[in-house]
Amino acid sequence: MSGTRTLCCHVNTATLSFAIIYLIVNVLKLVGIFLTVSWDKPEYSVYYHESTALKGQRVFDISTNILMLVMMSISAVLVFFSQRKGPMFVLPFSLMMVAELSLSFLSLFNGAWGLPGTSSYKEMLQAVRRVSAMNEEDIGQFTMWYSVLFMVEILLKVYVFQVSMKCFYALKEKRVSAIHVDTGNAVTVKLPSYDEALKMKAEDTPPTYQEP
């Protein structure tokens, strides 16, 4: 986790840039959910689109997706205050990257564990099939491209997590250095009290300076 530069910029600048992009994407996903719900599409719930979803299932699905996106957005906003408030404001963003990586891997086994606003392989394949007819060769190519893009997304999230942790340690080291600078040259002197100063004898005072 050492080092303060990545690619062509400082890790703080890179983390802030990733947080801005992350926030924009999450806001767009939230807007998409609200628009879809306002249009009252019954097939919104991607986890139950193959069968008629119960109202309670749809409400739970929508509410959890919105809550997850709000938490992701808040973690990105906290990064904006990390330069002034300290490294702990970067930590939620890093933890969200770990959560996204975990959900991405879990989505391979069960689509219900996927990221909010992100379609799984099965859902995307069905959407493409509705638009155009696909033979076995087309399905193979689609699967290959989906796998490549999925791995690129995973590697990108791992990279963002690594950069954010470097930013965390860089800010922590900067704060510790600032504390040492503020307290390193300080001298503690115990001054006598007022009563002790009055009781001092004349011989205790230093001799006056005389020129030779």
Residue 94 lies in a domain: yes
Q: What span, in angstroms and rounded, lies between the C-alpha atoms of 105 and 170?
A: 30
Residue 182 lies in a domain: no
* Degrees, nearest 5: CA angle 98-100-106: 105
Lowest-confidence region among 2-6, 79-83, 123-127, 146-150: 2-6
Residue 192 lies in a domain: no
- Residue entry with tokens 């080092």: 3
Residue 144 lies in a domain: yes
Residue 190 lies in a domain: no
Residue 168 lies in a domain: yes
Does 199 have pLDDT greater than 70?
Answer: no
Q: What span, in angstroms and rounded, lies between the C-alpha atoms of 116 and 37?
A: 14
Long-range contacts of 204-207 (CB under 8 A, 24+ apart): none
Q: What span, in angstroms and rounded, lies between the C-alpha atoms of 113 and 100?
A: 10
Residue 55 lies in a domain: yes
Residue 29 burial by CB count (10 A; 0-12/13-18/19+): exposed, middle or buried? buried
Residue 181 lies in a domain: no
Give the domain range for residue 170: 5-176
The more confident residue out of 118 and 99 is 99
Does 7 have pLDDT greater than 80?
Answer: no
Q: For all residues of the chain together, what is the average pLDDT?
A: 76
Lowest-confidence region among 28-37, 69-78, 120-129, 133-142: 120-129
Does 203 have pLDDT greater than 50?
Answer: no
DSSP letters spanning the chain? ---SEETTEEHHHHHHHHHHHHHHHHHHHHHHHHHHHHTT-TT--GGGTTSPPPHHHHHHHHHHHHHHHHHHHHHHHHHTTHHHH-GGGTHHHHHHHHHHHHHHHHTTT-GGGSPTT---HHHHHHHHHHHS---HHHHHHHHHHHHHHHHHHHHHHHHHHHHHHHHHHHHHHHHHHHHHHHHHT--------HHHHHT--GGGSPPPP---
pLDDT of residue 127: 74
Question: pTM surpassing 0.75?
Answer: no
Structural domain count, the chain: 1
